[in-house]
Homo-oligomer: A and B are copies of this chain.
Amino acid sequence: MLERLGINAKEAEKTLMVASSEKKNQALKKIAEGLIENTDKIIEANKVDLENGEKNGMAKSMLDRLKLDKERIEGMAKGVLDVATLPEPVGRILSATERPNGLRIEKVSTPIGVIAVIFEARPNVTSDAAALCLKSGNTVILRGGKEAINSNKTIAKVMRQAVKEAGMPEDVIQLVEDTSRESANELMKMNEYVDVLIPRGGAGLIQAVVKNATVPVIETGVGNCHIYIDKNADLKKAVDIVFNAKTSRPSVCNAAESLLIHKDIAKEALVAIKNKLDEKDVTLVGDSKAREIIPDMEKATDADWATEYLDYKMSVKIVDSVEEAIDHIYKYSTGHSECIVTENAGTAEKFMNQVDSAAVYLNASTRFTDGGEFGFGAEIGISTQKLHARGPIGLPELQSFKYKIYGDGQIR
């Protein structure tokens, strides 16, 4: 069923792979214009999705994620234009060497090829992902959730038309219109056509992709993020960082979920942090030592240590040393973002070297793990795997490379 899309994507990639920056930026500009010009059409299609959602009893928060209005569509268009202003990622010479036999070897960045993105209910992902893939020279096959299918179809149509008007093959952007589970499964196994698959969504989607895909995958998103308050912590920083990391946006992957506190500072720190978190009614669950300090705290189970709550809830453990904190994180972390709060440089360096996560912070909120905050301009997700991309996936991470070897008749 989807093979045709695969063939189209590979064919369009031949053109996109070698397209100039000007050409690609022109296409992005056309897309942004198209989104603005077709605002009414997009809102109309989105209304159908919203009505269906309400009919099917979709939760309020989900309906909000699904909803598009004039302002949000302007935001999508602006996002596309922002991508156009980013530096050209294709064709950078990453290294160059001359071998004793006279061969000159250049390592050059290239597009990956065909990128498939499977995502859930947020229709703005359609234009975000398409823009990043186009700029990085990759054709994209988008497969969104059925909840947003009418919005996605309209957005994809607008984008394809814009690309065509810019003189590029419209198949650089394709949408899978079949939103059945079968279409997702088929996409996960199209090794002949798909160079990488990026799932964007909840833990369930990501696990399904990791288990079923035979194409290479970049795993994204799940963040069981820890903050460790060292005995040499500055308490004010500790309180501010925990409050920010837990409550500024609890539903996102870089929100903190678990708090580890050194025993020597436990009482003072925990009481101060609890007082602050109470402003947002955060529920704490803790180990026995934490419950000695705050007796009305529920007991944390083993499942709690491994849970990404994505809610106003946090687990608390009192540890004997930075080593115990590191061990706990090694065992339970999803490898997203962790933080140490300390004024002791030696302890900080130990933590930052030994904690095996994409982003390790000294005295700063885990909420900074984000392409924009890192200065990447934009991101297609946060990788929690160690292969190819780790942390925010920006344009450079959407590149492969190849070796160009210049000889003059050399043989071996």
A183 at the interface (CB under 8 A from B): no
Cβ contacts A to B, 24 pairs, < 8 Å: A99-B375, A105-B375, A110-B356, A113-B386, A196-B386, A237-B409, A240-B411, A244-B411, A245-B411, A357-B402, A359-B405, A360-B405, A362-B407, A363-B408, A363-B409, A364-B405, A364-B410, A365-B410, A365-B411, A368-B412, A373-B412, A386-B400, A387-B387, A387-B388
Bound CA–CA A240/B407 (angstroms): 13
The majority secondary structure among interface residues of chain A is mixed
**Chain A: interface residue total (CB-CB under 8 A):** 68
Stretch at the interface among A75-83, A210-218, A278-286: A210-218
Query: Besides A110-B356, A216-B385, A369-B403, 14 other CB < 8 A contacts?
Result: A103-B364, A105-B375, A113-B356, A195-B385, A216-B387, A237-B409, A240-B409, A244-B411, A359-B405, A362-B405, A362-B407, A364-B408, A364-B410, A364-B411
Hey, which chain B residues are within 8 Å of A410, CB to CB?
363-365, 368
The 6 closest A-B pairs by CB, nearest first: A364-B407, A244-B411, A386-B400, A388-B388, A237-B409, A367-B412
Hey, which chain B residues are within 8 Å of A385, CB to CB?
195, 216
Which residue of B103, B236, B364, B367 is within 8 Å of A368 (Cβ)?
B103
Write the nearest CB–CB distance from A358 to chain B, whole angstroms.
Answer: 6
Hey, which chain B residues are within 8 Å of A14, CB to CB?
330, 354
Return the CB mask of A6-41 against B: 1 if under 8 Å, else 0. Answer: 000010001001100000000000000000000000
Known A195-B386, A234-B409: A404·B365 in contact at CB below 8 Å: no
Write the nearest CB–CB distance from A99 to chain B, whole angstroms.
Answer: 6
Write the nearest CB–CB distance from A372 to chain B, whole angstroms.
Answer: 10
> Are B403 and A359 in touch, CB under 8 angstroms?
yes
Copies of this polypeptide in the complex: 2
Bound CA–CA A405/B370 (angstroms): 12
Hey, which chain B residues are within 8 Å of A391, CB to CB?
402-403
> Are A400 and B405 in touch, CB under 8 angstroms?
no
A301 at the interface (CB under 8 A from B): no
A241 at the interface (CB under 8 A from B): yes
> Are B387 and A196 in touch, CB under 8 angstroms?
yes
> Are B407 and A363 in touch, CB under 8 angstroms?
yes
Return the CB mask of A375-397 against B: 1 if under 8 Å, else 0. Answer: 10000000001111011000000
A112 at the interface (CB under 8 A from B): yes
Write the nearest CB–CB distance from A122 to chain B, whole angstroms.
Answer: 21
Q: Which B-chain residue is minimally distant from A216 (CB atoms)? A: B387
> Are A112 and B387 in touch, CB under 8 angstroms?
yes
Q: Which B-chain residue is minimally distant from A408 (CB atoms)? A: B363
Hey, which chain B residues are within 8 Å of A409, CB to CB?
234, 236-237, 240-241, 363-364
